[in-house]
């Protein structure tokens, strides 16, 4: 039984070791060195791919199985904020902090589940295909590591990304395209008490524009949000400038394009009507992906999850991850839950049982993937 080969104590020790290393985005040097050492200890050849602000860690190990396709396993090394001074509490089968810092299970639970799986494969001498490991950096600040990675270093066309929360068994099969925009609205300043007629109030114009823009849930798979507003300088000055920042997400690319176009057209029309200038900039943070529920790779993962004793649940998720970039670059990547709970909060915690189940789910998937053929 593969389940019996998972060593929970080893998993916990590795987890505690990693969460005690502070690794904010762009400051992954310390954890990177430890992980490189661990991968080398597992028989992997390791390379570091540097980019402007940080680096990605790539591991490769040839498998015993001939004719099997390579599989990539990925997690990110950075945490959403500092875990400096972390105090870990372990009680009733749960690992959490004293509530003063995040735990960093996002995404170190993913890393240790991968490492445990690789240890078992090595110790049991399991026949599996080639495995590539990609530990990315600065995921939390906008997928920087994944975006700056040199994909020619990889052979895999399939990947498991261990970076989702909730019960083990959850599989993210769809994530949205995410765009953001800035609208700079310029009127004309004037003394508000002496000659207000000479001014054009950017705040009132912005209010009229904003009130016409779609916001909130647009359709079941599309959202929009006006997130920040800045403007004005003093009560006695007709305000000259307002800056609005917003975003939109959709699981349908055409919808986001259409929404953006209609919003920007509307804003430009209203700006003209209210005699203000408007300058709009938009930026694509990441492209969405959607993998069919009956896709062979998804089905393989479903079977492996069942085998590992968890119930697969397909999720259409509202946020992005490195998997968005991998899919865009031609690697079919699904995001699996590691069992982490309430990430990005000081309530973040993980059940020890879920660390074990998470590792087993990966292990069963790797073993099943040995016989996977497409095309």
Shortest separation between residue 344's beta carbon and Zn ion, angstroms: 8
- Residue 161 or 209: the one with the smaller Cβ distance to Zn ion is 161
Considering only residues 264 to 293 of the shown chain, the ones binding Zn ion according to CB under 5 A are none
Would you say 165 or 174 has its CB closer to Zn ion? 165
Q: How far is the CB of 181 from Zn ion (least distance, A)?
A: 25
Measured from the CB atom, the residue of 28 and 107 that comes closer to Zn ion is: 107
Among the listed ranges 106-114, 153-161, 241-249, 276-284, the one in contact with Zn ion (CB under 5 A) is: 106-114
Task: Pick between residue 241 and residue 322 the one whose CB is nearest to Zn ion.
Answer: 322
The nearest distance, CB 107 to Zn ion, in angstroms, is 4
Rule CB under 5 A: choose which of 61, 70, 71, 106 binds Zn ion.
106
Is 139 catalytic? The answer is yes
Nearer to Zn ion, 163 or 348 (CB): 163
Question: Distance between CA 48 and CA 108 in Å, rounded?
Answer: 19
Closest distance to Zn ion from the beta carbon of 42 (Å): 23
CA distance 90 to 24: 23
Q: Using CA atoms of 300, 303, 308, 310 in order, give the dihedral in degrees to the nearest 10.
A: 110
Instruction: Considering the complex, state which of residue 70 and residue 320 has its C-beta at the smaller distance from Zn ion.
Output: 320
Q: Where are the beta strands (DSSP E) in the chain?
A: 45-50, 55-61, 71-76, 88-91, 94-97, 131-136, 158-165, 170-175, 177-186, 216-219, 222-231, 241-250, 277-286, 289-290, 313-316, 332-340, 349-351
Would you count residue 364 as binding Zn ion (CB under 5 A)? no
Neighbour-count burial of 275, counting CB atoms closer than 10 A to its CB (0-12 exposed, 13-18 middle, 19+ buried): exposed
Using the contact rule CB under 5 A, the part of the chain among 157-165, 223-231, 273-281, 308-316 near Zn ion is 157-165
**How far apart are the C-alpha atoms of 157 and 189, rounded to whole Å?**
57
Whether 123 is a known active-site residue: answer no
107 belongs to the binding site for Zn ion (CB under 5 A): yes
Binding of Zn ion by 322 (CB under 5 A): no
Q: Active site residue: 106, 113, 139, 348, which one?
A: 139
Q: Which residues within the stretch 328-347 sit at the binding site for Zn ion (CB under 5 A)?
A: none
Distance between CA atoms of residues 262 and 260, nearest Å: 6
The single residue of 28, 78, 116, 179 carrying the catalytic annotation is: 78
Q: How far is the CB of 353 from Zn ion (least distance, A)?
A: 21
Nearer to Zn ion, 41 or 319 (CB): 319
Question: Is there a contact between 365 and 60 (Cβ–Cβ < 8 Å)?
Answer: no
Beta bridge partners of 79: 24
- The token duo for 328 is 């865009």
By CB under 5 A, residue 113 contacts Zn ion: no
Which pair of tokens denotes residue 30? 């310390």
Least distance in angstroms from the C-beta of 102 to Zn ion = 11
Strands 222-231 and 177-186 turn out to be unpaired
> CB of residue 370 vs Zn ion: minimum separation in angstroms?
28
Smallest Cα–Cα separation from 333: which of 225, 172, 207, 204?
172
Single out the segment in contact with Zn ion by CB under 5 A; choices: 103-111, 144-152, 195-203, 248-256.
Answer: 103-111
Q: Is the dihedral of CA 127, 116, 358, 307 positive or negative?
A: positive
For position 163 contacting Zn ion by CB under 5 A, the verdict is yes
Hey, which residues are catalytic here? 78, 139
Contact residues toward Zn ion (CB under 5 A) are: 106-107, 163
């Amino acid at each position: 039984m593969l389940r019996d080969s998972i060593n929970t104590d080893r998993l916990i020790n590795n987890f505690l070791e990693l969460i005690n290393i502070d690794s904010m985005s762009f400051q992954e040097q310390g954890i990177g060195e430890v992980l490189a050492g661990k991968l080398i200890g597992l028989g992997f050849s390791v390379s570091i791919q540097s980019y402007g602000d940080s680096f990605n860690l790539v591991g490769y190990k040839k498998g015993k199985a001939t004719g099997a396709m390579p599989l990539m396993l990925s997690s990110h090394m950075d945490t959403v904020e500092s875990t400096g001074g972390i105090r870990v509490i372990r009680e009733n089968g749960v690992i959490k902090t004293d509530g003063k810092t995040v735990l960093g299970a996002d995404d170190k639970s993913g890393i240790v589940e991968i490492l445990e799986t690789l240890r078992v494969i090595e110790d049991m001498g399991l026949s599996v295909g080639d495995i590539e490991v990609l530990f990315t950096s600065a995921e939390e600040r906008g997928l920087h590591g994944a975006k700056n990675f040199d994909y020619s270093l990889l052979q895999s066309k399939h990947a498991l990304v261990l970076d989702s929360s909730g019960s083990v068994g959850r599989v993210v099969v769809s994530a949205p395209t995410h765009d953001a925009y800035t609208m700079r609205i310029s009127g004309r300043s004037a003394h508000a008490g002496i000659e207000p007629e000479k001014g054009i109030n950017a705040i009132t114009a912005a209010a009229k524009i904003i009130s016409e823009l779609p916001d909130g849930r647009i359709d079941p798979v599309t959202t929009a949000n006006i997130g920040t507003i800045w403007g004005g300088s003093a009560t006695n000055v007709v305000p000259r400038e307002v800056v609005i920042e917003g975003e939109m997400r959709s699981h349908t690319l055409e919808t986001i394009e259409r929404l953006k176009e209609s919003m920007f057209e509307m804003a430009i029309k209203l700006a003209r009507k209210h005699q203000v200038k408007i300058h709009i900039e938009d930026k694509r943070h990441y492209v969405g992906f959607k993998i069919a529920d009956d896709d062979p790779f998804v089905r393989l993962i479903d079977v492996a999850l069942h085998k590992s004793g968890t119930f697969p649940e397909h999720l259409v998720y509202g946020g992005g991850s490195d998997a968005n970039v991998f899919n865009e670059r031609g690697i079919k990547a699904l995001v699996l839950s590691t069992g982490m709970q309430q990430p990005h909060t000081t309530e973040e915690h993980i059940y020890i049982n879920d660390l074990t189940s998470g590792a087993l789910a990966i292990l069963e998937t790797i073993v099943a993937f040995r016989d996977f053929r497409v095309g």
